[in-house]
Amino acid sequence: MTGKPGNWSQRLVNWARIKSPWITIFNSGGCNACDIEILACLIPRFDVERFGILAKGSPRHADILLVTGPATLKQASRLRRVWEQMPEPKYVIAIGACGAEGGVFHGLYHVMDSVDSVIPVDVYVAGCPPRPDELINAVVTCLGLLAEDIAHGGKEWRQKKAPVSTDTVNPVGEVPV
Amino acid sequence: MSVLSEMLVNLLRKPFTILYPTEKVPIPDSFRGRVAITDEKCIGCSKCSLVCPPQAITMVANLREVEFKGKVLVRKKKPQVKVFRCIRCGLCQRHCPTGAIIVVPELSRTGTDREVVVT
Amino acid sequence: MIDPLTLNFVTETMKGFGTVEPAGKNRFRITTTPDRLRDAIMHVQAMLGCDRLITVSAVDNSRTLELHYHFTGQHRTVITIATGLSRDKPVLATLSDLLLPAGLYERQIHDLFGISFTGHPSLKKLVLNEDFPENEYPLRKDWKPAPGRSYGGTKERREPL
Amino acid sequence: MDPLLLFIYIFLFPGFLFLFAYALTFEYLDRRIAARMQHRVGPPFFQPFADLIKVLGKEVIDPDGVDRRIFDAAPLIALAAVMTAYLYIPIVGISPLAFEGDLVLVLYLLALPTILLFVLGWLSRNIFSAVGGVRAVTQLFIYEVPFFLALLAPALMAGTWSISGIMVWQQQHLWCLFLQPIGFVVALIGLQAKLERTPFDIPEAETEIVAGPWTELTGRRLALMHLARDASLVCGSALVAALFLGGPQVPWVISPAWLGWIVGFILFLVKTLAVLLILSSIKVATGRIRIDQLNRIGWKYITSAAIVQVAIVLAMNYWWVRA
Amino acid sequence: MTEVIIPIGPQHPALKEPVNFRVVADGEKIVRLELDLSYNHRGIEKAAEQRDFIRVLPLLERVCGICSHSHTTAFAKGIEEIMQLEIPPRAQYIRTIIAELERIHSHLLWLGVAGHEIGFNTLFMWTWRDREAVQDTLEEMSGNRVHYGMNEVGGVRCDLTPAQVRAALARLPLLEERVQKYVGMVNEEETMLLRFRGVGKMTKQEALAYGAVGPTARASGVACDARHEDPYLVYAEIPWEVVTDTHGDVYGRTCVRIGEIQESTKIVRYCLEHLPEGNIRVATPKTAPTGECLSRYEAPRGELVHFIRTNGTDKVERIDIRTPTLANWTSVAMCLTGQNIADIPVIVAAIDPCLSCTSRITVIDDREKKKNAITFDELRERSRARWHAEERS
Ligand code: SF4
Ligand code: SF4
Ligand code: SF4
Ligand code: SF4
Ligand code: SF4
Ligand code: SF4
Ligand code: SF4
Ligand code: SF4
């Protein structure tokens, strides 16, 4: 249901979308530190409810999926399924070094090395773990992206602009020594 | 009762929240954040890339003369750090002989392109 | 609080089960054979008052697969019972009925080292993902992931758009 | 009442439009108060509105093998039921639709959303939803009895089944809050349970069954259901305010009539907000109890408290009111 | 009502980490449960055999995001024992300070999560708010809120400046006052008592037989604490006590943890005040001699064991990590049978599971000696199929 900002109702929906990002958290095999830092965003010190961010248990209700961890072989299929359960429009933020490139687990035999090899990722956050303020920055970046996508009539324009890599080879094998 | 009193006290107190984007969260000087490289100091010894646990540092070709302990050396390589792979462990800083690569107390970035590097 | 055990006492008690040697601070290792393992453990529990199993560790020393059962008790001394299994056909009777927590450690060792524990109630894949290839035991010394080979999990890989 | 006024009453003020606005304000205040009590800032004022609009605009996903028509209809029916109930509750003076016995109708309509939630949960073919749905009806049976009894007490005392009638009676005598403090507490607890808020959020316990019957709701269904929930919060507090706090009735005579209406309306706002404050505090101060504990507590304490209250009222009727 | 199977996890709001239980429930009562915990296996033990002592520490730190210091200390301590190194007292004190701060933060975190599990979000908000003070201290001292990176073989990486010591000392009174408040809340708040008392009971004998460790065991009256049984760092020379409780239920575990927060606060204060002067590390050889070591460490959740074998190179030959959560799972499975569905999160949370290190077990119901088929669980789809089948029958 992404549409061009034409009539007032569409504009209203777009405005609401930016003002009310609900998140759901998925740990794809990380060390929990990132998850704890995400939870730390909800607490009084940072209180992301100020931005309308609510953590939801059901992926059906969420707009943004926060993925932590390097996607272990076992979690990869679950991650994919959770992502599929989310209603459009949906965005994915890969948290930490793990989410981006496997971090310290890069090349281990039981990880996929990046969330991106399982589901399309929109925003990356550096750090291991990122501080809560960096996570807030990430969500803000994601919202900026959302606004930009809306302006271009949907998420597809970005994918057209930068085609994703099409490698299907399992990264396992390059175990760093 | 302690719950109720705490609730009422909180209701009247100023919230604990740091209004993040407008107010900055204090970052201690010891915070290990972004990796920064001072190109003039680096002698291209590759030590940092050897100790880096996630292998975030690759040595890329870069010819340059550098001064080290009063001598002028010609280095062939310089380090390049993948921002999103770095785990901010600070080992590169700990093992660099010249202090060319350090982790500075600043936040790293968020972005859509994971191939970003620092050189 | 009971005093720590002494080498003499342990050697005396465990006579007939294998060699006893000190292995670090306040820790003794008893090396025994697989067939005497069960008796040795019951003996340690009964005679040395070791009522807690700390963990079961497996080590591949390239010749044999070693199993180490670490116990402790009120006396605070750690007693390790070690045994070696052949790498070609590592089989051992399960101890999960005797030591309740061992059931989990055994499944984990089965996955990573390929030691089969006969009589275990459900020796199924545990650590590795479901479609990890059979007969590949990652923690064996000679195991290396083959480049380009699939170790499961790939069927859910992101489809190219 | 002439048709135009009636139209305005039903659809604009204090009808549906006001109901929606007030429901969203209520949710905002609820979240804000909770946030402040937890020592944080809380959401901005437009948050419930933005949430509503956003959810309305999201994709609607049909769980496999469910009857889409029921799934679409149930939230609508729930919302309609609450909206209808709302029309009978006095907001500014006496509702023009009031009739003898409207209290029973309102109570029935307010119970409808829970039953529909159960139906949704049961039909979702999702285990979490089903368990949540079953929990919702179980809970319904537990709290509905004391809640009815507690609201019955003012009716008995006033000798009428009409909400407006009870209000007028309080005007002449004394607020039921003072006459029946036990009933008031039971009514608040029942309301909290009806709205499935902590400590009675058992049917949607996030950590146990994800979101209960809500798990599979997406898009406009979720939005409508949510709106129905917020509207019942308004209706419930308005009902309690009318039955126990004298509703929008102004204790002294004000002329002209329109000024009296405005004052009454302000009184209504103040009273419902007071009820909301109490409900929010309960929410913040407690954890969730278990369904078996609710069962025990509900029957043992809450129901008996309600029965005691009714007995007291009957006795009072005999000795005091009739005398 | 027929038996229903409720899949919990791998992605479930109660547990941030992946774990998969399938709870077989009859109405609201749990008949038996099937656990499948191995979603986080990454292969750290193998990788640790391939990295040298410098690079392996950040890896081990990331076994777990809560007790990151525990893993590195356990490892460094083990290697130092094999190398026969004596690390300077100042380094020992600094390690202890970080370890105890970590325990405080972990227990506060746990208290909040336990509150959250029973829907008492306010407690979650408050404890986590106060936990920030500990996190700030840790961040100031080490440079990261979670993965402190404090340890290296032979000592610690950064020294404490007097200003840091002062700042840390200044934060302690507030913390003590807050913890005192929580003691009150836990004992007064009715809904919490309702949910914690008598839930997940475990006797002393059961705790021993099922190999429970840490606060889980201590709440059942088993005074096991690696800091006491096998004193390391400075625990032999400073005053402190093992906290135990006899309730044996979730309430008891809460009391033990709160007691430990208070105890740890005292230890931190003592160490900060008695911080000796001197070096913070010693020169270490690059390689370790052939040897082996069983390094025991009392992590916040219980005894953590690293079994380390070296072979004369700069890498370990084998490291076997036995984490407290792994040791506690057997007892959880035991506790859960016969309880309410609503109690699952509380009981499971009561052992404070951090699954990233542990994710590898399927617990079978030992009590009934029943073999539970643990099949590949296609989360929702599967459960839905089950549901259909049951409905039809
Ligand atoms: S249930 Fe609520 S508090 Fe718990 S993790 Fe989910 S969103 Fe956070
Ligand atoms: S990025 Fe770092 S902190 Fe986050 S899950 Fe991965 S290892 Fe843990
Ligand atoms: S901080 Fe650590 S991970 Fe980052 S570049 Fe330096 S050594 Fe590598
Ligand atoms: S940054 Fe330092 S360690 Fe790295 S190559 Fe340059 S001089 Fe060597
Ligand atoms: S289960 Fe955890 S600790 Fe064990 S090998 Fe796997 S990742 Fe490492
Ligand atoms: S137990 Fe869990 S939280 Fe703790 S380090 Fe291991 S994975 Fe992380
Ligand atoms: S049991 Fe928990 S605290 Fe201990 S090492 Fe594992 S994750 Fe860390
Ligand atoms: S105890 Fe473990 S599962 Fe629970 S919140 Fe902490 S890290 Fe997550």
The reported pLDDT for the residue numbered B24 is: 79
- Pocket flag, ligand 5, residue E64 (CB < 6 Å): no
Residues of the domain holding E384: 365-393
E144 C-alpha to ligand 6 centroid (Å): 17
Among the residue ranges B83-97, C127-141, D19-33, E296-310, the one predicted with the least confidence is: C127-141
In 3D, which of C66, C64, C81, C78 has the Cα closest to residue C20?
Answer: C81
Which tokens belong to E37?
């915990």
The answer, for E43 touching chain A at a CB cutoff of 8 Å, is yes
The answer, for A17 touching chain D at a CB cutoff of 8 Å, is yes
The reported pLDDT for the residue numbered E380 is: 30
Which tokens belong to D131?
């368990």
- Choose the closest CB to D206 out of E13, E123, E194: E13
Ligand showing the shortest atom-to-Cα distance for residue E64: 6
**Distance of CA A40 to CAs E14, E106, E124, E268, Å?**
16, 13, 10, 24
The C residues from 112 to 141 touching A (CB cutoff 8 Å) are 128-130, 132, 138
The reported pLDDT for the residue numbered D167 is: 76
Q: Whose CA is nearest to atom 3 of ligand 1?
A: E116
Q: How confident is the model at residue C98 (pLDDT cuts 50, 70, 90)?
A: confident
ipTM score: 0.80
The answer, for B104 touching chain E at a CB cutoff of 8 Å, is no
Residues of the domain holding D233: 3-322
- Cross-chain Cβ contact A128/B19 below 8 Å: no
Residue type, E82: I
Which chains reach chain B with 3 or more Cβ–Cβ distances below 8 angstroms? A, D, E
Judge whether B103 and B32 are in contact, CB under 8 Å.
Answer: yes
- By CA distance, what is D40's nearest residue in B? B15
Chain A hits for C136, Cβ within 8 Å: none
Residue E31 placed within a domain:
no
Residue type, E61: E
Among the residue ranges A168-172, C27-31, C130-134, D289-293, the one predicted with the least confidence is: A168-172
Q: What is the pLDDT along chain E (393 residues), one digit of tens a residue?
A: 455 555 554 444 434 444 555 666 666 666 666 666 666 677 777 777 888 888 888 888 888 778 888 888 988 888 888 888 888 888 888 889 888 988 898 888 888 877 777 778 888 888 888 888 888 888 888 888 888 888 888 888 888 888 888 888 888 888 888 888 888 887 777 777 777 777 777 778 777 777 788 888 888 888 888 888 788 888 888 888 888 888 878 788 888 888 888 888 988 888 888 888 888 888 888 888 888 888 888 888 888 888 888 888 888 888 888 888 777 777 777 777 666 666 666 666 655 554 433 332 222 222 222 222 222 222 233 233 333 333 333
Give the number of the atom of ligand 2 that is nearest the alpha carbon of residue A68: 5
The answer, for C63 touching chain E at a CB cutoff of 8 Å, is no
- Cross-chain Cβ contact B25/A133 below 8 Å: yes
- Domain chopping of chain B, boundaries: 26-118
Residue E29 placed within a domain:
no
CA distance D209 to E8: 8
The reported pLDDT for the residue numbered E8 is: 54
Q: Whose CA is nearest to atom 4 of ligand 4?
A: B48
For chain D, state the CA radius of gyration: 20
The full set of domains in chain C, from first to last, is 7-118 (3.30.460.80)
CATH of domain B26-118: 3.30.70.3270
Percentage of chain A surpassing pLDDT 70?
Answer: 81
Residue E8 placed within a domain:
no
The answer, for A173 touching chain C at a CB cutoff of 8 Å, is yes
The answer, for B3 touching chain D at a CB cutoff of 8 Å, is yes
Q: Whose CA is nearest to atom 6 of ligand 1?
A: E13
Residues E318 and E378 in one domain: no
Residues E297 and E379 in one domain: no
**Count of domains for chain D:** 1
The reported pLDDT for the residue numbered A177 is: 29
Judge whether C113 and C138 are in contact, CB under 8 Å.
Answer: no
- Pocket flag, ligand 3, residue B88 (CB < 6 Å): yes
* Mean per-residue pLDDT, A137-143: 84
- Domain chopping of chain A, boundaries: 14-161
Which tokens belong to E47?
């990788």
The reported pLDDT for the residue numbered E369 is: 28
Q: Give the phi and the psi of residue A175 in degrees, each rounded to 5.
A: -70, 120
Give the helix/strand (H/E) hosting C140.
Answer: none
Residues 6+ apart with CB under 8 A from C137: C111, C112, C113, C114, C143
Cα angle E258, E262, E268; round to 5: 135
**Count of domains for chain E:** 2
CA distance E105 to A36: 11
* Mean per-residue pLDDT, A142-146: 81
- Cross-chain Cβ contact E292/C72 below 8 Å: no
CATH of the domain at E196: 1.10.645.10
Chain B hits for A69, Cβ within 8 Å: none
Residues E301 and E379 in one domain: no
Burial level of E266, CB count in 10 A (0-12/13-18/19+)?
middle
Chain A hits for D59, Cβ within 8 Å: 1, 87-89
- Pocket flag, ligand 7, residue E64 (CB < 6 Å): yes
The answer, for A84 touching chain C at a CB cutoff of 8 Å, is no
Which tokens belong to A83?
């992502």
Among A128, A131, A134, A135, the mutation site with the greatest number of ligand 2 atoms within 8 A of its Cβ is: A128
Tell me the pLDDT tens digit for each residue of D157-170. Answer: 777 777 777 777 77
Residues E353 and E372 in one domain: no
Q: How confident is the model at residue D28 (pLDDT cuts 50, 70, 90)?
A: confident
**Is the domain covering A14-161 a CATH 3.40.50.12280 domain?**
yes
Residues E331 and E374 in one domain: no
- Pocket flag, ligand 1, residue E17 (CB < 6 Å): no
- By CA distance, what is A121's nearest residue in C? C158
The answer, for E386 touching chain A at a CB cutoff of 8 Å, is no
- Cross-chain Cβ contact D50/A52 below 8 Å: yes
The reported pLDDT for the residue numbered C158 is: 45
Query: What is the least distance, in Å, from the CA of A156 to any CA of chain C?
Result: 11
Residue E24 placed within a domain:
no
E71 C-alpha to ligand 6 centroid (Å): 10
Residues E389 and E262 in one domain: no
Query: What is the least distance, in Å, from the CA of E144 to any CA of chain B?
Result: 6
C88 C-alpha to ligand 5 centroid (Å): 25
Among E12, E116, E118, the mutation site with the greatest number of ligand 1 atoms within 8 A of its Cβ is: E116
- Pocket flag, ligand 6, residue E74 (CB < 6 Å): no
The reported pLDDT for the residue numbered B71 is: 80
Query: What is the least distance, in Å, from the CA of B76 to any CA of chain E?
Result: 25
Q: Give the number of other Cβ atoms within 10 Å of residue B93's Cβ.
A: 18
- Cross-chain Cβ contact E42/A177 below 8 Å: no
**Distance of CA C38 to CAs C97, C117, D163, D315, Å?**
11, 13, 79, 77
Pocket of ligand 4 (CB under 6 A): B 42-48, 79, 96-98, 100-101
